[in-house]
Amino acid sequence: MIFDATGLPRCLSESGKVDKSQFARIADLAVDDGALMFNPVEADRSDVLSILERAWSLPA
């Protein structure tokens, strides 16, 4: 597996760089970022929060 070979984090919680308490701020920044208009799928704050939650931990 790539993880075994590289030791790179597989999810946000393994990264040690993000805490769940930061999700609201990250979502606000993402929605206000002009780059979002180039995303092929429209996304709002709740969409971004959902993505962050899914990225937080490995699938069961």
pLDDT in tens, 13-52: 999 999 999 999 999 999 999 998 899 999 999 999 999 9
In contact, 24 and 46? CB cutoff 8 Å: no
Predicted confidence at residue 1, as pLDDT, reads 77
Predicted confidence at residue 59, as pLDDT, reads 82
**Residue 24: which H helix or E strand, with range?**
helix 23-32
Which one is predicted more confidently, 59 or 60? Answer: 59
Predicted confidence at residue 17, as pLDDT, reads 95
Give the pLDDT mean for 55-60: 88
Predicted confidence at residue 35, as pLDDT, reads 93
CA distances from 8 to 1, 18, 28, 39 (A): 11, 15, 27, 26
Residue from 15, 1, 22, 24 nearest 57 by CA: 15
